[in-house]
Amino acid sequence: MKKYLASCRGLPLLLLLLAGCLPAAVPGPMPTPTLSPRPNGLAADADIFARNQRLGRGVNLGNALEAPQTEGEWGMKIEAGFMPLIRAAGFQHVRVPIRWNAHAVAEAPYTIDPVFFRRIDEVIQQALDAGLVVLINMHNYDDLMLNPPLNYDRFVALWEQIATHYQSYPPELFFELLNEPNSLLTAERWNPLALRALAVVRRTNPQRAVVIGPDSYNAVGRLFMLQLPDADRNLIATVHYYNPFQFTHQGAEWAAGSDAWLGTSWTATEAQKTAVLRDFDEVAQWGKQNRRPIYLGEFGAYSKAQMEYRTLWTAFVARSAEERQFSWAYWEFGAGFGVYDRTARQWNSALLQSLIPKP
């Protein structure tokens, strides 16, 4: 897994950024997406809380389209056969992390590579054809985090292109403006930038469900800093959860000092469960006060944790989220946190059971 940035209450933030480079300009007009006929499953549903429940249980297709330059660079490619497998296992949606900025011109008008657009079209259509809701985001835009003012216009222009390109897609397609705002993209900078991007999305997608999270890596403890326009009721607030970080990221190669955490357990003690419930109750209370549904966009424990503890933690987090009416997406499908073994071509049955219990 290439989860370079993470936040954790009571622990210092860990930061490891890869330097990226932008491709050369790609000339030519943006392609018009071609859609297969779809049932009008959400078209009549104006209730954003119901749409959030339609997201339900999901999984992240991480380590693929958010790689620095090329899908597969991190060992993961999205195969067409994954989508029916995911749906048959009981998941209701996929979250697709995408590094759009690596496939766009560096200067205005910041044109997105049409070939890359076609690849995203293909992945979205595969998900829709399998009966999945699909959420696309903007992931790993490191330049925006490190130099926000220099990238404001580019970020907004990218979303203008994405929104225009997908304006005719069915409501089963959700947008997420930005994965884990962090570093110099503080709440004071992120809130007005999110409003700018949302405004360009709404020109072409007035009713599209849009997901927005707080700064500090979508931290639970920063949700109170998130400012959403009260008049727009088609928004879903998101947080990510990897607490306790020394358990979920033990042995993670990108987390400095994580080898010292190897062997950390999570045995569902009262103190451990109370810590999770306290965090989730805080999120639920914010959602109630602000009349916003909640999406737990990422949670997971790395494969170097003992499986017994991983499944205990995963099941407790998932059930606690569901009890509070949060939709969720596990991080992730088939890499370091994976619920699916791509080599063996089979589900990790214990981990899948913790996410989607079978009688």
Instruction: Give the DSSP letter of residue 112.
Output: B
Terminal-to-terminal C-alpha distance of the chain: 31
Query: In whole angstroms, what is the distance from residue 211 CA to residue 196 CA?
Result: 14
The CA-atom distances, in angstroms, between 23 and each of 101, 117, 355 are: 9, 14, 39
Q: Which of 180, 188, 282, 308 is catalytic?
A: 180
Q: Model confidence over 140-167: pLDDT tens digits?
A: 999 999 999 999 999 999 999 999 999 9
Residue 42: per-residue pLDDT: 52
Residue identified by tokens 């927005």 is 212
Pick from 82, 41, 45: which is nearest to 63 by CA?
Answer: 82
Pick from 96, 234, 233: which is nearest to 162 by CA?
Answer: 96
Instruction: Give the DSSP letter of residue 14.
Output: E
Model confidence at 299: pLDDT above 70: yes
Under 8 Å between Cβ of 229 and 195: yes
Q: Which of 298, 322, 323, 332 is catalytic?
A: 298
CA atoms in the 13 A half-sphere facing the CB of 289 = 11
pTM for the model stands at 0.89
Domains of the chain: residue spans and CATH: 47-355 (3.20.20.80)
Q: Model confidence over 194-232: pLDDT tens digits?
A: 999 999 999 999 999 999 999 999 999 999 999 999 999
Give the relative orientation of helices 307-323 and 270-290 as an angle to the nearest 10 degrees. 30
Whether residue 253 lies in the annotated active site: no
- The SS3 call for residue 124 is helix
Whether residue 172 lies in the annotated active site: no
Q: Model confidence over 241-251: pLDDT tens digits?
A: 999 999 999 99
Q: Give bridge partners of residue 174 from the DSSP assignment.
A: 135
